[in-house]
Amino acid sequence: MKYKFFLITLFLMCFSNFSAQEIHKYLYKGTIDKLPVTLFLIEEISGCPTTHYSGMYKYDKVSNWLYLEISDNEDDKLVMVEGGITGIISVKKTGDNLKGFWISPDGNKKLNVNLQKVKTNAKTIQPYDEKYEQVNYEMNDC
């Protein structure tokens, strides 16, 4: 009986490792054009398909947080569409940097994006995580 219990426990432990999901949360600061911005990025690695991103950003001292729908490709490029499609951010991840462009919905305006990853810990990331939950709820609530 103990042997069966041991095997079941071992199986469940192995199975839980295969279905485990890694979640990383990053904070970036930098500029869009010359305006200072903050980006909060969540990376969920599940293996199905591989990685899912979500996030929000704001123009510091100017705007509210803007919800982002994020897609990625194998070349470390991220395309972030602002909720309500008020703009698109297309960047390439290079080390701790995100560089690319913000593009207006009509495609007539293109601004440089330069962001640098900020070192964080659980305490410094918590307020951003809580704000993201609120922004996500407001954007996706039926």
Structure token pair of residue 4: 């069966």
C-alpha span between 137 and 85 (Å, rounded):
17
Q: Are 24 and 42 in contact (CB under 8 A)?
A: yes
Choose which CATH entry (1.10.3470, 2.60.120, 3.40.50, 2.40.128) describes domain 21-140. Answer: 2.40.128
| Lowest mean per-residue pLDDT among 2-6, 56-60, 78-82, 111-115 | 2-6
- List the one residue out of 107, 103, 50, 62 whose CA is nearest residue 80: 103
Q: Are 135 and 67 in contact (CB under 8 A)?
A: yes
> pLDDT per residue over 27-61, tens digit each?
999 999 999 999 999 999 877 667 889 999 999 99
> pLDDT per residue over 51-110, tens digit each?
889 999 999 999 899 999 999 887 889 999 998 888 999 999 999 999 999 999 999 999
pTM over the 0.85 mark: no
Structure token pair of residue 88: 């698109």
Domain ranges of the chain: 21-140
C-alpha span between 115 and 38 (Å, rounded):
8
